[in-house]
C-alpha cells in the first residue's frame, strides 16, 4: 500500500471530514479506525449551520444529509415533562418565525438534526469517493519521528497483524480518550468528571405520546426517573439519557431487565420499545494544553471535550478540520512554510475554550429548572414527586418554571458562537479595529469583515447564477474580493497569482440585492483577502497608493515561508 501523505487516526465525523477536505486539496490520506464499522448508536446529532457550510465547501451534497435528518416540524420545541407521557411542565418553542428568519439570513445553509450513526455512512462514502483509504479494525498504537514525518504502528484487530505506516502528517481524530494525544504527552486542562451518564438507545414509536408536542428533547423531571429523551426520530429512534452512579454500572450499562425498568418508568405509559444498546460515558469540560506540532496534530474531541449542552462538540471539531486542512496543503505544496501550522492552535484553541465555557454555562443553567420546581437536595422522594406533579395546577409555580425554561434559550440558539467567532491572532493581519460585540454573543451574529472573522454571507449573482459570497472562496488558496472600483487590486492579484472577484455594478459578480454592500465594510475601492477556510485574512477598507505592495505584504504574513 502506498504511504499516505496524511494518516488520520479516527473514523468518526471529524476524521472523515478531515479526509474529504484533504482529498479535495490533493493530499493522499488514509483513515484508520479501531471500531469494526461506523457507529451503530446515535451519539451527536446537531449539525450546525457552520458545519453545513463546511460540508458545502467540501463538495458534500447536502441532499443526503437533509433527507436523513429529522423533519423540521419535529424540531419545533424543547419540552419539560413529568414523564414522557405525563403532564407538560413547560416548553421552549424553537421554530418561531423570528428565529427562522435569523437563521436564513445568516448563511446559505440552515442547520440539520441528523444522528451521528446516519451521518457517518454519508461521510464515509464521500471520503472513499474522494480517493481516501478507510480501514476499520485498525488500532493505532505508537509513533516514531524522522526528518520526513512520522511512522505509526497499527494493529489489525481482526487478525492481529501489525503494520507500520509512514506519513508526512499524523492527525489524532480519535476522540476523548485519544491514544495519539497520550502518546504525544499532551495534557488536558479542566474538570475530568462532571457527571456520569447512561445512554439507552431505543427503537420505539412514541408519536402517540407526544403528537401534540413534537420536540427534539423531552426533559423528564420525575425525581425517580430523571433524564432526557432525545428524539432522533419520533417514530422510531430515541435515546434516553440519564445520570447514573459510576460505581453502579459497567461501561456497557446495567443488565437488560434493569435497563428496561428504567426506560419504562421514564416513559410513564405502557408503550412497547426495544433497547438496542446501553453505554455509560463521562461528561467533562477539558481543552488540550496544546494541539500538537508538526507533524502531529489533534483535531476534535481529542483536543477538546465539552458537556453536550449546546451541541458544540462535533461542530467545533469539524471547524478544526476546516482550519487545519488548507494549512497542511499549503505547507505540503510549498505555498507556505511550516510556521503556518503554528496558527492552527493559536486560532482554534481559543474557540474551544470559549465553547467549553458556553457548554458549562448551559449545563449549569439547566439546574435552575430543578430549583424552580422546588426540588431541594435531600427532599424525600414522595414529596419531590408530589411537587413536580402539582406544577400544572399551580399558576404561580408554573410561571416560575416557565421563566426558568425561557432562560434556556442560549442552550439551543448558538448562532453567535457558531458563526461569529473571530480569530485574534494567527494566519491573518489585524487591522486594529475592535471585534464586533453583539448584545448576546452566544445567540446573536453580527456580520463582520474584520480580519479573523468568517466572511459574511450574501446572495449574489455570478453569470446569472444565485450563489453565496462564501461560494466565491477558493478551497485551495486565498481569494481577493474587491469593490466595483477595485481595478488596481485586481491587477495586483494577477501579479501575485491570486484569484480575484469584483463585486458590484460592472464587476464579475453582481450584488443584485444590495446585501453585500450593506455588510462588506469596505469602500468601492477596498479589498478583502479571504482564506480557503472562508475567514478574512486581511482587508483594506479603501484604495491605497501601492496595491501590489500592500497585497504582497499581506500574503507574506498570511502564508509565511
In this structure, how many other beta carbons lie within 10 angstroms of the beta carbon of residue 240? 26
Show Cβ contacts of residue 176 under 8 Å, excluding neighbours closer than 6 positions.
Answer: 284, 301, 302, 305
Look at residue 1 and tell me whether its pLDDT is greater than 80: no
Give the model confidence (pLDDT) of 417-448 as tens digits. Answer: 999 999 999 999 999 999 988 999 999 999 99
pLDDT in the model for residue 245: 87
Look at residue 84 and tell me whether its pLDDT is greater than 90: yes
| Residue 465 three-state SS | strand
* Average pLDDT for the chain: 95
Structurally, at CATH architecture level, domain 427-558 sits in 3-Layer(aba) Sandwich (3.40)
**Mean pLDDT on 121-135:** 97
pLDDT bucket at 375, cuts 50 / 70 / 90: confident
- Nearest to residue 110, comparing CAs of 72, 79, 59? 72
**Which pTM was predicted?**
0.96
CATH domain 72-107+195-283+373-421 topology: D-Amino Acid Oxidase; Chain A, domain 2 (3.30.9)
Give the model confidence (pLDDT) of 7-51 as tens digits. Answer: 999 999 999 999 999 999 999 999 999 999 999 989 889 999 999
In this structure, how many other beta carbons lie within 10 angstroms of the beta carbon of residue 28? 17
Give the model confidence (pLDDT) of 85-125 as tens digits. Answer: 999 999 999 988 888 898 889 999 999 999 999 999 999 99
- Domain boundaries defined on the chain: 6-69+114-188+288-357, 72-107+195-283+373-421, 427-558
∠ CA 355-356-358, nearest 5°, is: 60
pLDDT in the model for residue 524: 97
The answer to whether residues 540 and 520 touch, using CB atoms and an 8 Å cutoff, is no
pLDDT bucket at 251, cuts 50 / 70 / 90: confident
pLDDT in the model for residue 123: 98
**Mean pLDDT on 475-488:** 96
**Mean pLDDT on 286-294:** 97
Length of the chain equals: 561
Q: Calculate what percentage of the chain has a pLDDT beyond 70.
A: 100
Give the model confidence (pLDDT) of 308-360 as tens digits. Answer: 998 999 999 999 999 999 999 999 999 999 999 999 999 999 999 999 999 99
pLDDT in the model for residue 261: 96
- Nearest to residue 242, comparing CAs of 222, 215, 216, 256? 222
Query: What CATH number belongs to 6-69+114-188+288-357?
Result: 3.50.50.60
pLDDT in the model for residue 381: 84
Amino acid at each position: 500500500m502506498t504511504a499516505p501523505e496524511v494518516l488520520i487516526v479516527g473514523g468518526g465525523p471529524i476524521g472523515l471530514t478531515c479526509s474529504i477536505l484533504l482529498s479535495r486539496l490533493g493530499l493522499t490520506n488514509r483513515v484508520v479506525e479501531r471500531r469494526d464499522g461506523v457507529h451503530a448508536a446515535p451519539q451527536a446529532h446537531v449539525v450546525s449551520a457552520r458545519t453545513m457550510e463546511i460540508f458545502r465547501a467540501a463538495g458534500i451534497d447536502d441532499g443526503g444529509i437533509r433527507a436523513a435528518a429529522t423533519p423540521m416540524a419535529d424540531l419545533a420545541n424543547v419540552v419539560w415533562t413529568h414523564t414522557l407521557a405525563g403532564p407538560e411542565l413547560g416548553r421552549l418553542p424553537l421554530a418561531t418565525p423570528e428565529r427562522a428568519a435569523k437563521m436564513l439570513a445568516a448563511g446559505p445553509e440552515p442547520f440539520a438534526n441528523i444522528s451521528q450513526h446516519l451521518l457517518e455512512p454519508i461521510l464515509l462514502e464521500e471520503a472513499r469517493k474522494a480517493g481516501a483509504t478507510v480501514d476499520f479494525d485498525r488500532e493505532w498504537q505508537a509513533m516514531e519521528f524522522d526528518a520526513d514525518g512520522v511512522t505509526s504502528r497499527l494493529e489489525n484487530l481482526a487478525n492481529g497483524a501489525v503494520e507500520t505506516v509512514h506519513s508526512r502528517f499524523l492527525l489524532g481524530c480519535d476522540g476523548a480518550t485519544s491514544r495519539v494525544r497520550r502518546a504525544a504527552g499532551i495534557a488536558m486542562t479542566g474538570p475530568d468528571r462532571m457527571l456520569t451518564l447512561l445512554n439507552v438507545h431505543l427503537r420505539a414509536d412514541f408519536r402517540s405520546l407526544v403528537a401534540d408536542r413534537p420536540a427534539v428533547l423531552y426533559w423528564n423531571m420525575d425525581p425517580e426517573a430523571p433524564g432526557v429523551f432525545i428524539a432522533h426520530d419520533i417514530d422510531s429512534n430515541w435515546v434516553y439519557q440519564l445520570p447514573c452512579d459510576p460505581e453502579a454500572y459497567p461501561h456497557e450499562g446495567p443488565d437488560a431487565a434493569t435497563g428496561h425498568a428504567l426506560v419504562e418508568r421514564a416513559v410513564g405509559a405502557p408503550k412497547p420499545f426495544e433497547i438496542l444498546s446501553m453505554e455509560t460515558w463521562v461528561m467533562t469540560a477539558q481543552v488540550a494544553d496544546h494541539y500538537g506540532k508538526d507533524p502531529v496534530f489533534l483535531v476534535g474531541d481529542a483536543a477538546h471535550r465539552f458537556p453536550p449542552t449546546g451541541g458544540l462538540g462535533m461542530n467545533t471539531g469539524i471547524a478544526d478540520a476546516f482550519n487545519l486542512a488548507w494549512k497542511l496543503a499549503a505547507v505540503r505544496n510549498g505555498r507556505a512554510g511550516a510556521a503556518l501550522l503554528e496558527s492552527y492552535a493559536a486560532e482554534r484553541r481559543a474557540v474551544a475554550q470559549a465553547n467549553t465555557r458556553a457548554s458549562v454555562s448551559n449545563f449549569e443553567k439547566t439546574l435552575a429548572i430543578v430549583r424552580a420546581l422546588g426540588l431541594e437536595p435531600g427532599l424525600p422522594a414522595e414529596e419531590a414527586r408530589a411537587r413536580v406533579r402539582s406544577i400544572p395546577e399551580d399558576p404561580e409555580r408554573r410561571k416560575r418554571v416557565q421563566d426558568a425554561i425561557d432562560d434556556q434559550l442560549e442552550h439551543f440558539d448558538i448562532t453567535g458562537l457558531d458563526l461569529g467567532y473571530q480569530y485574534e491572532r494567527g494566519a491573518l493581519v489585524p487591522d486594529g479595529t475592535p471585534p464586533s460585540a453583539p448584545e448576546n454573543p452566544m445567540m446573536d451574529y453580527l456580520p463582520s469583515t474584520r480580519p479573523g472573522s468568517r466572511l459574511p454571507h450574501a446572495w449574489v449573482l455570478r453569470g446569472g447564477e444565485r450563489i453565496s459570497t462564501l461560494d466565491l472562496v477558493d478551497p485551495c488558496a486565498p481569494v481577493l474580493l474587491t469593490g466595483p472600483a477595485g481595478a488596481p487590486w485586481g491587477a495586483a492579484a494577477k501579479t501575485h497569482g491570486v484569484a480575484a472577484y469584483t463585486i458590484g455594478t460592472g464587476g464579475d459578480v453582481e450584488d443584485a440585492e444590495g446585501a453585500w454592500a450593506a455588510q462588506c465594510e469596505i469602500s468601492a475601492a477596498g479589498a478583502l483577502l479571504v482564506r480557503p477556510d472562508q475567514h478574512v485574512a486581511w482587508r483594506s477598507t479603501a484604495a491605497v497608493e501601492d496595491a501590489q505592495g500592500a497585497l504582497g505584504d499581506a500574503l507574506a504574513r498570511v502564508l509565511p515561508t
